[in-house]
Amino acid sequence: MTGADAPYDVHEIPDFTLECGVTLRPARVAYQTYGTLNADRTNAIVYPTWYSGRHWDNEWLIGEGRALDPERWFIIVPNMLGNGLSSSPSNTAPPSDRARFPRISVRDNVASQHRLVTEVFGIETLPLVLGWSMGAGQSYQWAVSHPEMVQRVLPFCGSPRTAPHNRVFLDSVRAALTADQVFAGGWYEPDRWPVAGLRAAARVYAGWGFSQAFYWNEAWRELGHTSLEDFIVDFWEGFFLDDRDPNNLLTMLDTWWNGDVGRTPGFGSTEEALASIRARAIVMPAEKDLYFPPEDEAWAVSHMKNAELRVIPGVWGHFAGGGKNPVDTDFIDTAVAELLAAPSGI
Amino acid sequence: MTGADAPYDVHEIPDFTLECGVTLRPARVAYQTYGTLNADRTNAIVYPTWYSGRHWDNEWLIGEGRALDPERWFIIVPNMLGNGLSSSPSNTAPPSDRARFPRISVRDNVASQHRLVTEVFGIETLPLVLGWSMGAGQSYQWAVSHPEMVQRVLPFCGSPRTAPHNRVFLDSVRAALTADQVFAGGWYEPDRWPVAGLRAAARVYAGWGFSQAFYWNEAWRELGHTSLEDFIVDFWEGFFLDDRDPNNLLTMLDTWWNGDVGRTPGFGSTEEALASIRARAIVMPAEKDLYFPPEDEAWAVSHMKNAELRVIPGVWGHFAGGGKNPVDTDFIDTAVAELLAAPSGI
């Protein structure tokens, strides 16, 4: 069984100290698995979630006949801290709840996932870590933090370090959401959300999520929308109103904003951290991604030992990696298959 | 004398009926002039303002040794309706004040400017109309509405029709500004502006106004800023707090959103209107402009009879046309000089 209604598991880490110094007592990592772990525990793939995504939002790339075939692989999709299923402002008991929920780093996420993978499953090697967007950022971090474990990595539409312009974009989402006085510094009533702010954040996101050419071509018609406004309201505002707790959104936004593999202990720079990656990599930015532009990933690949840059062509921009259209999905699926068939980087 | 403190003139049009059907009683067009109109009134250039710009914000392209040399040309800079100097929500008496100020079209602006140019100065021919951004949109409209008058046109970083993605961007600015409850549907107290909304709108704009590469390169250092946050607060938030009345901003935003020369009476489409332009044109998008991308202007030029596409190279994005850096300014100035030296299109 798959989808939002399928049962899923939670790994509880009793005392989980975050990089910021706060301890979650406990941290909970919600996760879903697809397929069966083999006897020698060598067929596990980690596929982290993206900004506000839940494990079921990754399922479009998993399935029979896909590269991520549960008949062959054991695919673990851990939910990011802050996404509302794993420990988050919305589901943590006082005193560390809501606006007081601590800052979460990409490394905190990877550390929590490493505990899950090793403590629950006894896994020591990962044929592949992959992910979209913030999931790509976590994939890079896995390859840097656990070079002995990660054989291959396939980050799509994401980066090892959040670029300055990307931060400007994120700050604008935050500013739009919090301009609504109902937000009240994060102390809004649980049953009264800052809806105007959420809708404004959705509209900001709408301009960035898809390319100029996507809108020029009215490619939203492929998603069943009937007008530009219908797409903005139904897809984008609907997206942000679909159980997206504002404090959760800001926790994940902060995680994203501060992402940088170069701050991993032991490294002096992003370049040095990238150079340390042993995993074989296919790095897949989208041609017209407006906040993870391909130039940035060309730069990242230039500092990696064993990486290929493979740009996803077309007009879908960031959402090329969102599983929303079959052409881009097949393009990514093909790369996943090729990478899994190639020799391990370790 | 130039600058914000220089005296300027206002042309009053007693009863000015707008496209939306409302009549401004009167409409006021504030304007500044540079140079002297010659005896046969053949040396006048119209250079309209941009979104929230005032006439003095155009002066960087005017001056001795520049193509727009006041020793030779008589340069008229009319302020857009809604910009706070010409008739605007902020300076119109009740009942058509503030949130009740009527909708203004690009054609209304050009009509008001045409009245100014003909009634005050008796001008019948214009060697050049040019402008940045919304000023480019007005330039296109001048060439469509008054083909017998406009000899040459040089729109930079702007378009004849506001593209769908551009509208998504504009809607996000509006949503951020109005998410602040202090906005109160436009009925905020004149001495209590929705500052959180204005700052949020500024941050949204920050991501779009300059390119990803501009931020990657930290090119804001060329403007004297000392950090990314210093640039965002000092340049962008400062920009939006500098006497930018929120209702004025939304009036101009609506003008922009609805811009389309194809809706000029007598034309069936944007393409048809573009094909009607007789003026010789150099159309100058900026290479990395995120809301007026060069592809859109290549499309426009493909429908014009007498137009050259000349892309402004570099990382400054939309602000390549803002007069903020000498390289781009010289590039534009060179094109203006070439165009003025070329034969008239009429």
pLDDT in tens, A291-325: 999 999 999 999 999 999 999 999 999 999 999 99
When pLDDT is averaged across residues A155-179 and rounded to a whole number, the result is: 98
Domain B166-254 classification at class level:
mainly alpha
**pLDDT higher than 90, residue A1:** no
Maximum distance among all Cα pairs of chain B, rounded to whole angstroms:
55
User: Mutating which of B169, B170, B172 best tests the A interface, going by the most A Cβ atoms within 10 A?
Assistant: B172
Q: What are phi and psi of A62, to 5 degrees?
A: -115, 135
The pLDDT, as a whole number, for residue B33 is: 98
User: Mutating which of A166, A212, A221, A250 best tests the B interface, going by the most B Cβ atoms within 10 A?
Assistant: A212
List residues bridging with A128 in a β-sheet. Answer: A45
B contacts of A293 (beta carbons < 8 Å):
212
Selecting from A175, A208, A211 the residue whose C-beta is nearest the C-beta of B176 gives: A175
Angstrom distance (rounded) from CA B289 to CA B208: 8
By the CB < 8 Å criterion, does A108 face chain B? Answer: no
pLDDT band at A222 (very low <50, low <70, confident <90, very high): very high
By the CB < 8 Å criterion, does A179 face chain B? Answer: yes
When pLDDT is averaged across residues B60-89 and rounded to a whole number, the result is: 98
Q: What is the pTM of this model?
A: 0.97
When pLDDT is averaged across residues B100-108 and rounded to a whole number, the result is: 98
Interface pTM, i.e. ipTM = 0.96
By the CB < 8 Å criterion, does A300 face chain B? Answer: no
Contact call for A293 and B212, based on CB within 8 A: yes
Q: Which residue of B has its CA nearest to A206?
A: B168
Task: Identify whether B97 is a catalytic site residue.
Answer: no
Contact call for A291 and B212, based on CB within 8 A: yes
List residues bridging with B33 in a β-sheet. Answer: B76
The pLDDT, as a whole number, for residue A293 is: 98
By the CB < 8 Å criterion, does A169 face chain B? Answer: yes
Task: Identify whether B133 is a catalytic site residue.
Answer: yes
The alpha-carbon gap from B163 to the nearest alpha carbon of chain A, in Å, equals: 7
Angstrom distance (rounded) from CA A57 to CA A197: 24
Interval A223-276: pLDDT, tens: 999 999 999 999 999 999 999 999 999 999 999 999 999 999 999 999 999 999
Q: Which residue of A has its CA nearest to B231?
A: A168
The pLDDT, as a whole number, for residue B186 is: 98
Instruction: Look up residue A329 and give its two tokens.
Output: 């999905």
Per-domain residue ranges of chain B: 9-163+261-341, 166-254
Interval B322-344: pLDDT, tens: 999 999 999 999 999 999 999 99
Q: What is the mean pLDDT of chain A?
A: 98
Q: What is the mean pLDDT of chain B?
A: 98
The alpha-carbon gap from B201 to the nearest alpha carbon of chain A, in Å, equals: 7
pLDDT band at A278 (very low <50, low <70, confident <90, very high): very high
Place of tokens 């901003």: B249
By the CB < 8 Å criterion, does B10 face chain A? Answer: no
B contacts of A161 (beta carbons < 8 Å):
none
Selecting from A163, A200, A213 the residue whose C-beta is nearest the C-beta of B216 gives: A163
Instruction: Look up residue A58 and give its two tokens.
Output: 């990754």
The conformational region for residue B323 under phi > 0 = left, psi -120 to 50 = alpha, else beta, is: left
By the CB < 8 Å criterion, does A175 face chain B? Answer: yes
**pLDDT higher than 90, residue A190:** no
A·B CB contacts under 8 A = 130
Contact call for A207 and B176, based on CB within 8 A: no
Dihedral angle over CA of A157, A160, A163, A169, nearest 10: 50
* CATH homologous superfamily of B9-163+261-341: Alpha/Beta hydrolase fold, catalytic domain (3.40.50.1820)
User: Mutating which of B167, B168, B183, B188 best tests the A interface, going by the most A Cβ atoms within 10 A?
Assistant: B168
Angstrom distance (rounded) from CA B262 to CA B257: 14
End-to-end C-alpha distance for chain A, whole angstroms: 34
Selecting from B167, B196, B296 the residue whose C-beta is nearest the C-beta of A179 gives: B196
The pLDDT, as a whole number, for residue A45 is: 99
Q: Which residue of B has its CA nearest to A162?
A: B216
Interval A67-108: pLDDT, tens: 999 999 999 999 999 999 999 999 999 999 999 999 999 999
B contacts of A214 (beta carbons < 8 Å):
165
The alpha-carbon gap from A17 to the nearest alpha carbon of chain B, in Å, equals: 30
Angstrom distance (rounded) from CA A206 to CA B181: 22
Give me the catalytic one of B133, B159, B211, B276: B133
The pLDDT, as a whole number, for residue B190 is: 87
**CA-based torsion, A67, A73, A78, A84: positive or negative:** positive
Task: Identify whether A318 is a catalytic site residue.
Answer: yes
The pLDDT, as a whole number, for residue A189 is: 92
Interval B301-317: pLDDT, tens: 999 999 999 999 999 99
Q: Give rounded-to-5 percent helix, strand, coil for chain B.
A: 45, 15, 40
* CATH homologous superfamily of A9-162+260-341: Alpha/Beta hydrolase fold, catalytic domain (3.40.50.1820)
**pLDDT higher than 80, residue A150:** yes
Residue A344 is classified by DSSP as P
